[in-house]
A and B are shown apart, each in its own frame.
Chain A
Amino acid sequence: MSAGFADELVFAAPSPDGLSAGLRPLDRRYVHVIRLMTALVVLPVLISATVTEFALVGKGVGEHGMITAPVLALCAFILVFLPQRKWKRWGYAAGDEQLRVARGWMFRTDTIVPFKRIQHIDLGEGPIERMFGLASLTVHTAGTHNSIVTLPGLARGSAEAMRDAMRLHIRREAE
């Protein structure tokens, strides 16, 4: 299990303090994207657990289900409950002049990039995101720390609209 899941095992909503105020949630469909991507990580674990169990039972050690049952339960839990919580940790706000992206719970980071500082913008679609009509927006600044800020899970149309609005800004500043 990766550390990313461990972060999410703690049950609590993001605190309604000043840090999370004014944020918009990602597109609901992004929950499915997270679930599918998590499944891709979980699947090898499930397979190796099954293989180990069959090898052990073949040698006459233990019973069927002694490894697969708990692993299966854990995986089911991760796949059913966690994507929703992970999705909830994300938030963004695109004002007239700046983009704000907040993520994470145990280690929460809240980033603001002024449009004026954006060097270029990427609009990306992974295969899973495309299945659900989603896209991710990545902005690059000249800074060395945090020069790439990614906002996933936007509906394709709104991601394009955001991109165009930002691009307009960059062009206006360049003149």
Chain B
Amino acid sequence: MSDALSADPRGALAAADAGSDRRLHPLTLMLNLVRQVPQAILGLIALRFSGPDELKPWVGLFALLALLAMVGFEFYRWWRFSYRLDPEELRIASGVFSRNVRSIPYERIQDVNLEQGPLARLVGLAKVRLETGSSGSGDEGALDSVDLAEAERLRDVIRLRKAQQADGAPSGESDAGTEATPLPQTEAPLLFGMDMKRILTAGVFNFSLVFFAVVGAVVNNLDFLMPDDFWNPRRLLDFLGLEDLFAALDLAARIASVIAALIGLVVVGLVGGIIRTVLREYGFRLERTETGFRRRRGLLTLTDVVMPLHRIQAAVIATGPIRRRFGWYELKVQSLASDSDKESDHSIAPLATADELRHVLGETRIAWETDYPAMRAVDPAMWWVPLVFALPVPILGLGISAYLASPFIALAYLLLPLVPLISWLHWRAHRYALLGDQLYVRDGFWNQQLTLLPLRRVQSVDIRQSFVGRFIGLAEIAIGVAGRSGAVTIQAIPIGDAIALREQLLGVAVRNRPSGTS
């Protein structure tokens, strides 16, 4: 099942017919309709239960009319959507009321990614997503959906034309498709894969209360079906027939039941994390293709993502205090185009040992030469200065409310030491190092992240100093990097060090030939 995406497209390639308009696969219609059914049904239920009384007999008729309108609209939309592989560009014509023809030159297409949802897999369709590297939503060019062979053909033709344009060779008029016989992806060497045992292990570290979020969302949408004040605990116990039982319990039993509930929460969190991880990482394969990485994963929704090496800007090695003890790390790379799941990092090894990780990293031009013990700590002012400003407020507030309202509030003082503790842990976790032509920055105590930034990827450098920082002679460095949601920052270093570090960071950008960003 997992190799559905590698179906042989040679037959389809031979039949390539550049320059003719093509429509999406007709089954797309069915997929789009099926996707809308749950909403429609919810709407009808809501109408049935909460609409005006006079309208209730007509609900069936409304449903029929709505269905017809939906089918008609979807069909028309499908009919008006077409795409064409011209010699120089891909053209997509769309729009029901206002027509829009989009031309995407092949050389501007950065990635061709395929994505298959569970339904699409049943009927053998795939969504083709073209990343153009513009800062839009990432849906600049999406063909949703075509059959798998056509998707593979599109990917190969686009890659070939892109390569031809890059070489400056004239692109063949109609025989370009037939030339595209080499298919390096299918026999590309496997760099990193995860078996079921590894995926389950990853799930254990992926503690997630998403289950409750799902329940919450469902309840939110269906609350018109529930009696008022359903969530009142007494009412809930009553509803479940447990009230008498609960009242009969003594204090010890009540405490025991609370502990049992907490254990239950942990179990649900673990199971939720495992399920989520299995759904996402099932059949994880990272391959080395000619130009970069290709990642395939997913149990229900299968994704197939290509990442050219030259667009990788930085790498992040993530771990946690427990994972680290077992020797597990996650490797993410930051690339110029956004991933299909709108994450800014592409996870290319979700749970790997240090050796496996170095093996993958070896393919990029990024090294992992140092780690926490050898890195430089920052000034301890990082943890205590914010406390000077942040702590007086809760201390005073608690004192006043304990005095005015209830002395029990003063118990909250017991929690206050947690604030400096967490602050201190974060300071201890924050370290940096400049080694060779790479900057290493480590952050986070619970989610430990080690950022590996090659200096050739530095776009700009800020030195920031607040009035407090000026008073104690400390500054912060913020480095702009492409394809990352925020800056790479080093906090609380002496101003002299900051200025010297900035010189070194920019040395490569200013002296050497540029390596560019794309």
Contact = CB atoms under 8 A, between A and B. Distances in A.
A116 to B, nearest CB: 4
Nearest to B510: A97
A145 B514 contact: no
**Contact-residue bracket for chain B:** 20 to 34
Contacts of A145: 478-481, 484, 486-487
B495 interface: yes
Contacts of B517: 117, 142
A124 interface: no
Nearest to A111: B462
A116 B480 CA distance: 14
A24 B480 CA distance: 24
A110 B463 CA distance: 5
Interface in A1-55: 10, 15, 17-19
Q: Please name the 3 residue pairs, one residue from A and one from B, whose CB atoms are nearest each other, closest first.
A: A143-B480, A143-B459, A145-B487
B241 to A, nearest CB: 56
B462 A110 contact: yes
A118 to B, nearest CB: 9
Interface string A99-115: 00000011111111110
A109 B489 CA distance: 13
B11 interface: no
Contacts of A114: 460, 506, 509-510
B487 A146 contact: yes
Interface of A: 10, 15, 17-19, 97-98, 105-114, 116-117, 141-147, 149, 173
B146 interface: no
B60 interface: no
A36 to B, nearest CB: 28
B475 interface: yes
Given A107-B464, A143-B460, A146-B460, A98 B510 contact: yes
Given A113-B460, A141-B480, A144-B482, A18 B467 contact: no
B33 interface: no
Nearest to B466: A107
Contact of B509 (A18, A105, A109, A116): A116
Given A144-B486, A145-B481, A146-B480, A109 B470 contact: no
A108 B459 contact: no
Given A107-B466, A173-B514, 19 more contacts: A15-B470, A19-B499, A107-B464, A110-B462, A110-B463, A112-B460, A112-B462, A117-B458, A117-B460, A117-B509, A117-B514, A117-B517, A141-B480, A144-B484, A145-B484, A145-B486, A146-B460, A146-B487, A147-B480
A98 B506 contact: yes
A166 to B, nearest CB: 14
A83 to B, nearest CB: 21
B461 interface: yes
Contacts of A146: 459-460, 462, 478, 480, 487
Interface of B: 336, 458-467, 470, 475, 478-487, 495-496, 499, 502, 506, 509-510, 514, 517-518
A107 B464 CA distance: 7
Contact of A106 (B466, B483, B509): B466
Nearest to B464: A109
Contacts of A144: 480-486
Contacts of B495: 17-19
A111 B461 contact: yes
A98 B481 CA distance: 17
Contact of A109 (B462, B467, B486, B502): B462
Contacts of A98: 506, 510
10 contacts: A10-B467, A17-B495, A18-B495, A97-B510, A107-B464, A108-B470, A111-B461, A114-B460, A146-B459, A147-B480
Contacts of B514: 116-117, 173
B459 A117 contact: yes
Contacts of A113: 459-460
B316 to A, nearest CB: 15
